[in-house]
Amino acid sequence: MADAPQPRNVAQKLIAEHLVSGEMTPGEEISLRIDQTLTQDATGTLVMQELEALKLDRARTEVSVQYVDHNLLQADEKNAEDHEFLRTASQRYGLWFSKAGNGVSHPTHMQRFGIPGKTLVGSDSHTPAAGSLGMLAIGVGGLEVALAITGEPLYLRMPEIWGVEVTGELPPWCSAKDVILEMLRRHSVKGGLGRIIEYHGPGLANLTAMDRHVIANMGAELGATTSVFPADDAVLEFLRVEDREGDFQELLADEGATYDVEEHIDLSEIEPLIAKPSAPDNVVPVREVAGEPVSQVVLGSSANPGLRDFAIAAAMVAGRQIDSSVSFDVNPTSREILTDLTNMGATAELVIAGARIHQSGCMGCIGMGQAPAVGRNSLRTFPRNFPGRSGTKEDSVWLCSPETAAASALTGKITDPREWAKDVGLDYPALDLPARAAVNTAMLVAPPEKEEALKIEPVRGKNISALPDFPALPDKLEAPVMLKVGDNVSTDEISPAGAQALPFRSNVPKLAEFTFTRVDETYPERAAKTAGKEGHIIVGGDNYGQGSSREHAAITPRYLGLRAVIAQSFARIHWQNLANFGIVPLEFVNPEDYEQIDADDVIVIDGVRDALQSGKELTVHNATKGVDIPVRHRMSTRQVEGVVAGGLIPSLAFKDAP
Ligand code: MIC
């Protein structure tokens, strides 16, 4: 008799269903069939150029959607030209286009396109938000999304599955944001590396699909490959409200399913939490920092995108006034939510209390507007607070729930919403949310029929530069260390966003001028002198390149001559982006060897091509200090071939150098 099949958890089912190659053993390279893709403005223009270079005729995924999340300010022609390029390129390649103002990619995708049981890749690290619907949704660099659109599988190392059993019910004045902040408090920004987090257990019945979105979204901050939830009644209810119950399919873990790692969260023990400046894992109870003055409060972003998140804030501020020292900025995440809020009367409550209502999007989340004053506390319901990410170099950004945000906006001080409620004598409001969402697809542009599409020429404004040409890897690297950085350096520090830099996301030479300027203003100029010559090297600590998926953080330093990064460890997406663009990602075998290299030392890596290709041990020679340092890499044979060629598609993506 054949053995009974092993019970599977949700993540394993999703992977098994989409497995193209490899064994589902943690650490092994696997490849997965991808059903859906999403791209957003700030990373999407490169994806479109990559599709062009890959000579795609038409998207081969079930659904691919291009959104406009951030670049919504039109202070000059640049952003409008990006939108026009994205719209016409979407039409050309058979993608849906969600117009500027329609909404942030993650909640909008969940509302209109997400389907339980499907795979999704997105050129945005918060793509895992769709795990809330029982999807396997992974944030990757733009090039992987482009390849998925052409029908290629996604390659990754099989992660461990980390089961988090959820029990209990959240107390009043606590919400999903406090749950994920609790995970960050426990596990830090590295806790999820190499893992998929699967939430299960009876407590899930007390979390709506949008609550789960908040938790899955910020699994990115834990460094996790993705987060998944089952597709259960809460998902069915979400799809029903969105008028899409026909897209529901149940997806539950088998009875007796196990996990590689186990953990437990009792929702009833959660209290209001807040991440202090300037890291998402700098988490403390709100009560410990209560009383700190606040000058800005921002509500919105894909890390608190649900109707509930805005409605609770509206219910709290209704009939009251925002403190005179606070700018209360509300950035609704989708047009649908803005319509629902308006129909409910909540928009008026927010406005009357003194809120500044912005258009649907998540602009301030990467500093596209609403940059705070230097050193003044800004409380945000956002996912990240890396230094300078708000657009202000010496910023002081805190991350919290809508409840904590609204209470603090009313008092002008960081305030535990439970204390505020006690003071004003308010019970936790029971929200009366509409039974059907205000679904309206007028700003979603469907792809034209293939014959029509092939005739469309993407409109390239003058800010859309061609991608640069990168040479193959030489067998001997001999180059100076241009920069030595510490642990957890984020891609925001490598390639900043913000209203100055972001409009140049389609213009690599120009954007390169901003590279690492948050860390060292002299880097771009010094680095550029090595480009086209010997190049240079960067030394990093642990978790190098955490945060955003932006491949610009690999392409712009590469453009300035970066050939290798030697770090103690790498964040997953940036590591992949480095390899994709021909930068050798090396790790110290002995982490303490980090101390053996200083800025300006000259590093020699002889026989690097050969060692990478033959799997020989790798040693870097610090010529300045006269020491040999053992290093290793974790690239697959496929990735090594890409690095050696100077990048995954050097002959395609980078043909038309300016
Ligand atoms: C972010 O939160 O940093 C973003 C904006 O969502 C990015 C994408 C980008 O930098 O454009 C991400 O997380 O990938």
389 lines ligand 1 (CB under 6 A): no
Give the SS3 label for residue 398.
strand
Mean pLDDT (the chain, rounded): 96
Q: Token pair 């984020």 is at which residue?
A: 490
Q: Does the Cβ of 552 fall within 6 Å of ligand 1? A: no
Starting at the edge strand that comes first in sequence, how are the strands of the sheet with 19-21 ordered? 19-21, 29-32, 154-157
The set of residues, in sequence order, having a beta carbon less than 8 Å from that of 442 and lying 6+ positions away, is none
Residues 191-246 have pLDDT tens digits of: 999 999 999 999 999 999 999 999 999 999 999 999 999 999 999 999 999 999 99
9-38 mean pLDDT? 98
Cα(42) to centroid of ligand 1, in Å?
8
317 Cα: distance to centroid of ligand 1 (angstroms): 30
pLDDT in tens, 336-352: 999 999 999 999 999 99
Average pLDDT, integer, range 269-282: 98
What are the pLDDT digits (tens) for 434-472?
A: 999 999 999 999 999 999 999 999 999 999 988 888 999
Reported as a single tens digit per residue, the pLDDT across 572-610 is 999 999 999 999 999 999 999 999 999 999 999 999 999
Q: Distance between CA 203 and CA 221 in Å, rounded?
A: 22
Q: Is residue 365 within 8 Å of 301, Cβ to Cβ?
A: yes
Number of C-alpha atoms within 13 angstroms, CB side, residue 442?
5
Is any ligand 1 atom within 6 A of the Cβ of residue 43? yes
Task: List the 355-357 sheet strands across, edge first.
Answer: 283-285, 273-275, 396-400, 377-380, 296-300, 327-331, 355-357
Q: How confident is the model at residue 540 (pLDDT cuts 50, 70, 90)?
A: very high
Q: Is 121 in the pocket of ligand 1 (CB under 6 A)?
A: no
Instruction: Output the pLDDT for position 5.
Output: 83
Residue 324: how many other CB atoms lie within 10 Å: 7
Distance 494 CA to ligand 1 centre (A): 13
- Residue 606 has a pLDDT of 97
User: What pLDDT, on a 0 to 100 scale, did the predictor assign at position 655?
Assistant: 38
Q: What is the pLDDT of residue 469?
A: 81
Q: What is the pLDDT of residue 71?
A: 94
Q: How much is the pLDDT for 569?
A: 98
Mutate to test the pocket of ligand 1, among 138, 217, 382, 549 (most ligand atoms within 8 A of CB): 549
- What is the 127 CA–ligand 1 centroid distance (Å)? 10
Residue 548 Cβ contacting ligand 1 at under 6 Å = yes
Long-range Cβ contacts of 614-620 (<8 Å, 24+ apart) = 618/586, 620/566, 620/586
Residue bearing the bigger pLDDT, 77 or 649: 77
Q: Is the CB of 188 under 6 A from ligand 1?
A: no
Q: Is the CB of 126 under 6 A from ligand 1?
A: yes
Do residues 369 and 73 make contact, with C-beta atoms less than 8 angstroms apart? yes
What does the pLDDT read at residue 657? 34
pLDDT digits (tens, 9 = 90+) for 25-56: 999 999 999 999 999 999 999 999 999 988 99
Residue pLDDT, tens place only, 277-313:
999 999 999 999 999 999 999 999 999 999 999 999 9
Q: What percent of the chain shows pLDDT beyond 90?
A: 96
Query: Binning pLDDT at 50, 70 and 90, where does residue 658 land?
Result: very low
With a 6 Å cutoff on the Cβ, whether 132 touches ligand 1 is: no
Q: Distance between CA 310 and CA 48 in Å, rounded? A: 33
Minimum CA distance residue for ligand 1 atom 4 = 548
Q: What is the pLDDT of residues 492-536, one digit of tens each?
A: 999 999 999 999 999 999 999 999 999 999 999 999 999 999 999
- What separation in Å is there between the alpha carbon of 40 and the centre of ligand 1? 9
Q: Cα of 386 to ligand 1 centre, how many Å?
A: 12
- Which residue CA neighbors atom 13 of ligand 1 most closely? 548
Q: What spacing in Å lies between the alpha carbon of 579 and ligand 1's midpoint?
A: 19
Does 124 contact ligand 1 (Cβ within 6 A)?
Answer: yes
Distance in angstroms (rounded) separating the CA atoms of residues 537 and 480? 6
384 close to ligand 1 (CB < 6 Angstrom) = yes
Long-range contacts of 87-92 (CB under 8 A, 24+ apart): 87/445, 88/456, 88/457, 88/458, 88/459, 89/48, 89/51, 89/52, 89/458, 90/48, 90/66, 90/445, 90/447, 91/445, 91/447, 91/448, 91/453, 91/456, 92/453, 92/454, 92/456, 92/457, 92/458
Please report which confidence band the pLDDT of residue 1 belongs to, taking 50, 70 and 90 as the band edges: low
pLDDT of residue 4: 74
What integer pLDDT is reported at residue 53 of this predicted model? 87
Residue 571 has which token pair?
Answer: 């964040």
Percentage of the chain beyond pLDDT 70 is 98
The rounded Å distance from CA 550 to ligand 1 centre is 6
Ligand 1 centre to CA of 506 (Å) is 15
Q: Token pair 């002198």 is at which residue?
A: 529
pLDDT at 433 over 60: yes
Predicted pLDDT at 26: 97
Residue nearest (by alpha carbon) to ligand 1 atom 11: 42
Protein residue with least CA distance to atom 7, ligand 1: 548
Ligand 1 centroid distance, CA of 404 (Å):
24
In sequence order, the 6+-apart residues with CB closer than 8 A to the CB of 152 are none
Q: Which pair of structure tokens corresponds to residue 537?
A: 């090297």
Nearest CA to ligand 1 atom 6: 124
The length of the chain is 658
Q: What is the DSSP string of 568-599?
A: S-B-HHHHHHHHHTT-EEEEESSGGGGGG--T
Residue 649 is predicted with a pLDDT of: 73
Which ligand 1 atom sits nearest the alpha carbon of residue 383?
2
